Amino acid sequence: MEESQKQRDNLILIGFMGTGKSAAGSLLAEKLKRKFIDLDQLIEENSGSSIAAIFEEQGEEHFRELESETLNKLIKAGAANLVIATGGGIVLREENRKLLKTLGKVILLTATLPEIIIRTSGDRSRPLLDSEDRLETIRVMLETRKPFYREHDYCFDTTGKDLESICAEIISALRLQ
Ligand code: S3P
């Protein structure tokens, strides 16, 4: 099988912060007996810094660079048969959107604004949400990013759903079992 064809076997979760990419991705991997990779976690391990520290010390552009580098490394390593959860802003770069398509099936998770507010409340690990008016910050970011999330193969709304139902929906729609 061609290297590029093998890489189509990966399942890649994209979506705004708080849409459940990491939690659903990890459960999905467990159910499908696949390896799970959380891209943010991989970036933290490779750089030896937390996401918050990277943003604070080197800035968002540098973090976006690390996201691209990590995707390229996965492709070069012939990553296959994985479930990969990405950070919410990975789609901002055109380069990354292309790399995601090369890696596998792109699955968008969505949730309503109120649900995202609830799910991300009290969380201090997301530097982009560190603002006085979280609701307005999230509302504007969601609107700005809308066009970038359009490039996906599948889309699932996670609003009001638990992880089990989200995984069941994905498995059924993609005929994975
Ligand atoms: C970001 C989302 C975060 C993380 C970083 C930036 C974003 O990941 O990559 O804080 O730009 O939306 P999660 O979507 O997993 O929170």
Is 17 a pocket residue for ligand 1 (Cβ < 6 Å)? yes
Mean pLDDT (the chain, rounded): 95
Question: Model confidence over 95-142: pLDDT tens digits?
Answer: 999 999 999 999 999 999 999 999 999 888 899 999 999 999 999 999
Question: Model confidence over 151-163: pLDDT tens digits?
Answer: 999 999 999 999 9
Question: What atom in ligand 1 is closest to the CA of residue 15?
Answer: 14
Question: What atom in ligand 1 is closest to the CA of residue 43?
Answer: 9
Task: Give 15 Cα–ligand 1 centroid separation in angstroms.
Answer: 9
Distance CA(19)–CA(13), nearest Å, equals 10
Q: What are phi and psi of 123, to 5 degrees?
A: -90, 130
User: Is residue 7 left, alpha or beta, with left meaning phi > 0 and alpha meaning psi from -120 to 50?
Assistant: alpha
Q: Chain-centre distance of CA 80, in angstroms?
A: 17
Q: Enter the tokens of residue 43.
A: 């970036």
Mutation choice for ligand 1 from 13, 19, 119, 128, CB with most ligand atoms inside 8 A: 128
pTM: 0.95
Is 20 a pocket residue for ligand 1 (Cβ < 6 Å)? no
Task: Give 40 Cα–ligand 1 centroid separation in angstroms.
Answer: 8
Supply the pLDDT for residue 4. Answer: 55
Is 148 a pocket residue for ligand 1 (Cβ < 6 Å)? no
Whether 6 has a pLDDT exceeding 60, the answer reads no
Question: Model confidence over 133-142: pLDDT tens digits?
Answer: 999 999 999 9
Whether 62 has a pLDDT exceeding 60, the answer reads yes
Is 127 a pocket residue for ligand 1 (Cβ < 6 Å)? yes
Supply the pLDDT for residue 8. Answer: 72
Q: What are phi and psi of 97, to 5 degrees?
A: -65, -35
Distance CA(139)–CA(35), nearest Å, equals 33
- What Å distances lie between residue 19 and 45, 57, 72, 89, 99, CA to CA? 23, 27, 25, 12, 21
Question: What atom in ligand 1 is closest to the CA of residue 85?
Answer: 15
Q: What is the mean pLDDT of residues 81-88?
A: 98
